[in-house]
A and B are shown apart, each in its own frame.
Chain A
Amino acid sequence: MKNIQEMIFVKKLKKLDKKQRLRYGLMVGGILAFAPPVGFIAQLFGSATICGNLCPRMAIGTAFTRELFMRTAGVALLFIWLGITFFYGRWMCSHICPAGNLTEFGSKLIPKRFKIDYCKILDAPLFRYGFLGAYVLLPVVGVSSICCSFCSFSVIPETFGALFTPRLADMLMSGTRLFSVLLFVFVLGIFARDGRGHCHLVCPVGALDSIVNVLGAKLPFTLRERVNQADCSGCGFCATNCPASAIQVDKTAVKKVNIDQRRCYQCRSCESDCPKNAIYYGKLSKQKESWHDKEAEQILVLD
């Protein structure tokens, strides 16, 4: 078992597999598309960052107020975001969103022993749903400062953009902005286990996204991270390495591994970690639940 662990570790170090290369490429693309100093997609819609016209957080925060009708681009992006999640899983959160991508890259510079695993300490999805509820209802009663004053979509790309544009650095010099930088860039950002503490705990778009992810996962034609129980040996590498603590392993159960779709954000690292290739990204219909399925498949092949 130690040799297998070493093999996986060395493989990761020496060579990223295709899925992770694709993911990191898309993450860089998401940063270039939606974050300063480039933000080429954001600029098409009159913004320098995802904050502004394109902001899907504001689309959620103004869902019950008159401002919603002013935010066409943000509402459209939100629907595209949730639509992709419903059919294909949380690609937008894990591969495209600039806020999560920037802090995830930043967290790779921090040694593991300095990081906090929020997903192990808290039941992150439930905390996030509570936040979502308050986030949606507060503007209705006239408290909308949460939308913009303490916003990861605004602060994280701005902090990154400040490295290139002095104007953005000047904008950060206020009490509220500095507090938000401390919270989202550092405490819930680069010092979180996967750099995504703010994603797991306090992102309203992520909260809504995870609800849509769970709803879509039950359908046979949607694509998600799934487990072939017949191939699974119950070694638990996937659960140990999952950055969202989304995988539960019970060797004694018939269904040894369960992926919690509320937590899973489609980073696809479990597919690489599994020594038996039991975890796949695909449809429910391809899932082999038991040894009976595997035997039936073999009989069909022999025939």
Chain B
Amino acid sequence: MSTKLDKWLTGTIFVLSGVLYVYFLGGFVSPKLNDSAHAVGMLNAKGGVAFHPVEYALDEALFGQFSLLLTAKVLPPVSGDLVVKLIGPEELQYVVSSRYPPGLPIMNRLDRWYTFENSIFKDVTTGSDLVIVVKIKPPKSSGDYALNITDNSTGQLYYTMPVAFLDKGALASDEDCHE
């Protein structure tokens, strides 16, 4: 076999390996880790944009909880105090936390940073990035829920994300709950 052919073959093998690695991450690992989901969205005055719904199977919780990471951009004209709630047929136990604001603000952003307290984002400005982590205790039975972000004073809905809890084993082997 010639050296040039060797090089092409080696190159092809490794390029394919890189592609397979991504498949391994996206296709093989994620169905096994269905306790967590990452959702991306945008808040707006029309009820927001949620790119993909989230589904959990009741037997797939890790450490007795499910995790939902929501990264959302705040579009105009949304601003003010926003409250995060998970609503549905049962009253669920859940904890909302936020990656921002940072632990040690040294140089604040170019405009004022919002604050976060008791599941309420205060003084959010247009263009902000919300990074919300929701830790949810599994409900007793399956059902459809929604993660809503609303104006704390008027109740206007700025974002809604369907969150479905399915029966045990309901998620097929090649499905996952990630977006």
Contacts and interface: CB of A to CB of B under 8 A. Distances in A.
Interface of A: 36-41, 43-48, 52-53, 67, 70, 122-123, 126-135, 138, 143-146, 148-150, 161, 164-165, 167-168, 170-171, 173-177, 179, 201-202
Contacts, number: 157
A165 B71 CA distance: 19
Q: Which 7 A-B pairs have the closest CB atoms?
A: A130-B18, A126-B14, A175-B33, A48-B102, A174-B36, A174-B67, A134-B22
23 contacts: A38-B104, A41-B107, A43-B113, A45-B109, A47-B100, A123-B11, A123-B14, A126-B11, A126-B17, A127-B18, A129-B15, A130-B14, A130-B18, A130-B21, A131-B19, A133-B18, A135-B22, A148-B38, A148-B71, A168-B103, A171-B69, A177-B36, A177-B67
Contacts of B40: 67, 144, 148
A143 B104 CA distance: 34
A146 B128 CA distance: 23
A38 B62 CA distance: 31
Chain B binding surface SS class: mixed
B55 to A, nearest CB: 14
B164 interface: no
B99 A167 contact: yes
B178 A170 contact: no
A148 B30 CA distance: 13
Nearest to B62: A175
B10 A126 contact: yes
Given A146-B25, A165-B102, 6 more contacts: A44-B107, A131-B18, A134-B21, A145-B176, A168-B103, A176-B67
Contact of A168 (B17, B22, B99, B128): B99
B108 interface: yes
B5 interface: no
Chain A binding surface SS class: helix
B14 A170 contact: no
Contact of A176 (B14, B16, B38): B38
B26 interface: yes
Nearest to A176: B36
B101 interface: yes
Contacts of A143: 26
Contacts of A144: 40, 179
Contacts of B147: none
Nearest to A207: B18
- For A44, A53, A70, A149, which residue has the most chain B Cβ atoms within 10 angstroms? A149
Contact of A134 (B19, B73, B104, B108): B19
Interface string B88-108: 000000000111111111111
Nearest to A32: B106
A59 to B, nearest CB: 14
B85 interface: no
Nearest to B179: A145
Contact of B103 (A37, A40, A132, A135): A37
A48 B100 contact: yes
Contacts of B178: 145, 149, 176
A43 B38 contact: no
B179 A130 contact: no
Contact of A173 (B17, B33, B67): B67
B110 interface: yes
B15 A126 contact: yes
A104 to B, nearest CB: 22
Interface stretch (B76-84, B129-137, B149-157, B165-173): B129-137
A135 B15 CA distance: 12
A44 B109 contact: yes
B102 A176 contact: no
Contacts of A170: 97, 133, 135
B30 A176 contact: yes
- For A40, A47, A127, A161, which residue has the most chain B Cβ atoms within 10 angstroms? A127
A132 B18 CA distance: 8
A133 to B, nearest CB: 7
A39 B107 CA distance: 9
A138 B133 contact: no
A202 B176 CA distance: 22
Interface string B57-82: 00000110001010101000000000
B29 interface: yes
Contact of B129 (A38, A46, A67): A46
